[in-house]
Structure 1
Amino acid sequence: MTTKLTLTVDETVIKKAKSYSKQTGRSLSELIEKYLETLTDEHHDAKHISPKLKKIVGAVKLPANFDEKKELGAYFESKHL
């Protein structure tokens, strides 16, 4: 069951939130509901994945032969040499 909720929020925050919701294709109600769920989750632990991260998980498809250690080593080598 959904219930109507009236909030008082700074105008600048509302503008930013509306822009963000439009970019992500979600309503302000959905964003606020998910945020409140995250805050009040009784089973919250250190391994909890934030809603932002959940949205991007799986967005990048890596080749089956991708070697993370090799690529990470090459990145740090090029960065620091």
Structure 2
Amino acid sequence: MNTKITLELESELIVRAKEYAKKNKTNLSGMIENYLRFIVDSSEESIDLTPLVKSLSGVIKLDDSDYRKELTYFLSEKHKR
């Protein structure tokens, strides 16, 4: 059974959402319904990890290095001419 609801949203968001819906061959109501179904269903599901995944948890130990510094160095070396 479908029930109507009233939402108060920014008008620009509604315009953009309707354009998105049209491009994706759906409507705003369908998009909202799918989103609500997704968040409700995903919050009710708990992910069961397999024994293999559980056994691998915590296996890799990372040092406390500054990844940004290393990434900067890597990218600068990569793009040198």
Return the TM-score normalized by structure 1: 0.52
Counterpart in the other structure of 1:31: 31
Question: Deviations for 1:25-46, whole angstroms, at most 9, x for unmatched residues?
Answer: 101110000000111111264x
Identity across the alignment (%): 39
Residue in structure 2 matched with residue 17 of structure 1 by the alignment: 17
Residue of structure 2 in register with 1:43 after alignment: 45
Higher relative contact order (CA 8 A, sep 6+): 1
Where in structure 2 are there 5+ consecutive unaligned residues?
48-77
Runs of 4+ in structure 1 over 3 Å off: none
Larger-gyration structure (1/2): 2
RMSD of aligned Cα (Å): 1.5
Change (3 A) 1:35 1:29: same
In structure 1, the gaps of 5 or more residues are: 46-79
